[in-house]
Amino acid sequence: MEQQQHSNRRSFIRNVSLGSLAALSLPQIVSAAVKTSESESPARAKKLTLKKDAVIVFQGDSITDAGRKRDKMDPNDQGALGNGYAYLAAASLLTAYPEKNLKIYNKGVSGNKVYQLAERWDADCLQLKPDVLSILIGVNDYWHTLNGSYKGTVKTYREDLIKLLDRTKQALPEVQLIIGEPFAVNGVKAVDDKWFPTFNEYRVAAKEIATQFDAVFIPYQAIYDKAQQHAPGAYWTGDGVHPAIPGAGLMATSWVEMVKK
């Protein structure tokens, strides 16, 4: 019994230490990954400017959705923001900038690909008139081709996303765009070697499109890669795609770091 208690205590201390290391390292992980991404691209680093009464909309698939309640429509509503990175980023922003009266929405929908964003774009984006629009999309555009349920290619992804952003900028010429890099953590459940190198083409496309539209680009793949120097991939994501709690924290920290101080 005593030996078991000692073992449990060691496990507890190890887990707490691992969690503390990850938490303490978040800013360093984000900073290192962003610098790496910037060094690989001639595009200058961009930051967001948050004006008073700004409307912020998070868009994407299940990574953004994160269990949000669809029947709740008000901005800054805890249920409407889900329980993932969008909620954590919103919490940080609302805490840091109470004087700005920000209005933050999460409109991610589980399973979505780019063409499905387009189908609901008027109601879930344009009618909200966002000042800041954050889009993380692309993993399903590839993942769903692996089981034959979707026939799109990286060319489809690129063309659909460009068309969607053109439509957005025509309706909202002053909107500030954030494009999140699609990411996948190899060796964790759903993600294995068969994803690569094809999936990397979607990452490249997202970065090139961000440059084309003068958007802020968040290099989530590089961030997850750096994070694995501190803890294994399964610590950050449960299945290689969907963030675990620390992964959501990592993404939220990355997002908030893109706001101009």
Q: Is the dihedral of CA 243, 45, 122, 205 positive or negative?
A: negative
Q: Which residues contact 239 (CB under 8 A, 6 or more apart)?
A: 188, 189, 190, 191
Q: DSSP characters for 10-48? A: HHHHHHHHHHHHHHHHHHHHHHHHHHHHHHT-SSPP--B
Supply the pLDDT for residue 15: 42
Contact 185, 224 (CB under 8 A): yes
Supply the pLDDT for residue 198: 98
pTM: 0.87
pLDDT in single tens digits along all 261 residues of the chain = 434 434 443 443 334 333 444 444 666 776 666 666 655 554 446 899 999 999 999 999 999 999 999 999 999 999 999 999 999 999 999 999 999 999 999 999 999 999 999 999 999 999 999 999 999 999 999 999 999 999 999 999 999 999 999 999 999 999 999 999 999 999 999 999 999 999 999 999 999 999 999 999 999 999 999 999 999 999 999 999 999 999 999 999 999 999 988
Please identify, in words, the CATH class of the domain defined by 26-258: alpha beta
Euclidean distance between the first and the last CA atom of the chain, given in angstroms as a whole number: 54
Q: Any idea where the domains of the chain sit in the sequence? A: 26-258
Identify each DSSP E strand in 6-155 by its residue range.
55-60, 103-106, 132-136
Supply the pLDDT for residue 24: 45
Q: Under DSSP, is residue 214 helix (H, G, I), strand (E, B) or coil?
A: coil
